[in-house]
Structure 1
Amino acid sequence: MAGTQCCENPPDLNSTGGVGHVEEISGLKCYVSASSNSNIAVILISDVYGYEAPKLRKLADKVAAAGYYAVVPDFFHGDPYNPEDKNRPIQVWIKDHGPDKGFEEAKPIIESLKQKGMCKIGAVGFCWGAKVVALLAQSDEYIQAGAFLHPSFVTEDDINGLKVPVAILGAETDHISPPEVVKKFSEILSSKPEVDSMVKIFPGVSHGWTVRYNEDDAVAVKAAEEAHQDMLTWFQKYVK
């Protein structure tokens, strides 16, 4: 179960961010930021705070600027985790929003993207979203490459079942997927030469650092941007 660390440093959902737009894809609202005429998509799957998080949307814009059709689905149907709702702690909220549901809802979105002309699709998951990507990556039917950033819920069995290239970016201070867990993932992947992988643990950062960093902290911004670039480099290798 995800611990309280995944709920630290919530984003300011009252602020605005992003230059894209919201449209409906397969019955779900999605933030879409698209490079002109791109036929390669990257799905960004949020943490528990949902698809409206400004830094996540700005990251989608960065992905689009790199040449992709970036899509951020609202897998929570307008009901992201709210840390101010004391009657609904994360342990209760997650019962209504399991990653398995996200996996099932991701499949028709992927089909819709293919119908739009997308010839390749990558997916990156943040915390909660990493488990959805892990499930998608059990088959090459859905995505051609995946990335997990400060993952939650991902198990060794998930890693054993991966069928597509995956990058895993972990944090030095992470009670949910601590370095020893990420290193175990790396060991498993090292025994699977048929699945290319990249595993990296970032020093001096904590869970959520890629989408919930302090913009006034130059060190935090630098670490987040390094992770963003690593993710883009991975996709440029496998979904270009």
Structure 2
Amino acid sequence: MANEADPRPCDIGHKLEYGGMGREVQVEHIQAYVSKPPVDTGKAVIVIHDIFGWQLSNTRYIADMITGNGYTTIVPDFFTGQPPWHPSYDWAAFPEWVKTRNARTVDKEIDAVLKYLKQQCHAQKVGVVGFCWGGVAVHHVMTKYSEFRAGVSVYGIVKDFEDIYSLKNPTLFIFAENDAVISLEQVSLLTQKLKEHCKVEYQVKTFSGQTHGFVHRKREDCSPADKPYVEEARRNLIEWLNKYV
């Protein structure tokens, strides 16, 4: 889910059979998945999950991919113990369900995780990546926290708020052309507003023919037509972090 003003459901896509190479830890009031590179680089990335929660194997797969590029990576439970959405639930209840999980009220959890990364993982530079619901959260924190050297918001968009275009640091926005949740009109409006108000580096990139969730909910071998876009988007994500974190 990405559009807070007009919430509609997400298809979970391909659920990867993936166990992860990290471990689960307790960070104050939050559970989290943490993976670390072989050599400490002083760099860390917070990954903010989608509506399917912090334990989704696909999200941990992406977190470990980021770790493989030299970052301590953490996937906290931003639902703080509340159950994530499950594909078997009645979609008619989704609008009310998502109201109880506001992606723009994650500051308490962000503060706790930043403290953990600095004190326990010796992180000196931190980035943030989020998908869908988490993409909305990334957009929010990049307007509030100058501590994040870079952000990557993947198919997350915030509407009807005037305070969302003054980003603190470089932010990459990734969208899908055929997204049933986020229209190209919304992406165009975001781009226009950023041009008018944003004073830092940013990029808005839309991938042809792709659907919501393609970056982390499609396998690399999903189809010959989609594979290059999945790989390019993931590469762009890493390149953005490498450039600015």
Provide TM-score, normalisation by structure 1: 0.89
- Whether 1:50 and 2:53 are equivalent positions in the alignment is yes
1:98-150, Cα deviation, whole Å (9 max, x unpaired):
11333331222112212232111110111111121122111343412111111
What CA deviation, in whole Å up to 9, does each residue of 1:4-63 have, x standing for no partner? 3x42135548x4432111111232111111113131111110110111111211111110
- Unaligned runs of at least 5 residues, structure 1: none
Aligned-residue offset at 1:201 = 0.5
User: Which of 182, 192, 205 is the aligned partner of 1:187?
Assistant: 192
Aligned to 1:128: 133
Counterpart of 2:209 (choices 199, 204, 207) is 204
Residue segments in structure 2 that go unaligned for 5+ positions in a row: none
Corresponding position: 1:221 with 2:227: yes
Give 4+ residue runs of structure 1 displaced > 6 Å after superposition. Answer: none
The answer to whether the aligner puts 1:64 opposite 2:70 as a matched pair is no
1:99 to 67, 92, 103: 103
Rate the CA distance shift 1:111–1:49 in 2: closer, same or farther, 3 A.
same
What code does the residue aligned with 1:20 have? G
Matched position secondary structure for 2:104: helix
Give aligned pairs, total: 237
CA distance in 2, matches of 1:155, 1:166: 20
Aligned to 2:119: 115
Equivalent in the alignment of 1:40 = 43
Q: Over the residues paired in the alignment, what is the CA RMSD in angstroms?
A: 2.2
Which amino acid is 1:102 matched to? V
Letter in 2 for 1:28: I
* TM-score, normalised by the number of residues in structure 2: 0.87
One of 80, 87, 94 as aligned partner of 2:84:
80
Q: Structure 1 CA distance, aligned partners of 2:180 and 2:161?
A: 16
Q: Deviations over 1:153-190 (max 9, x none)?
A: 35563442212111001110123322222222222222
Are the structure 2 counterparts of residues 193 and 16 from structure 1 closer, same or farther at C-alpha, using a change threshold of 3 Å? closer
Give me the identity figure in percent.
29
More helix by share: 1
Bigger relative contact order, structure 1 or 2 (CA pairs below 8 A, ≥6 apart): 2
Which whole-Å deviations, capped at 9, do the CAs of 1:55-110 have from their partners, x for residues lacking one?
21111111001000111111122511113122872212212211133333122211
Instruction: Indicate the SS of the match to 1:223.
Output: helix
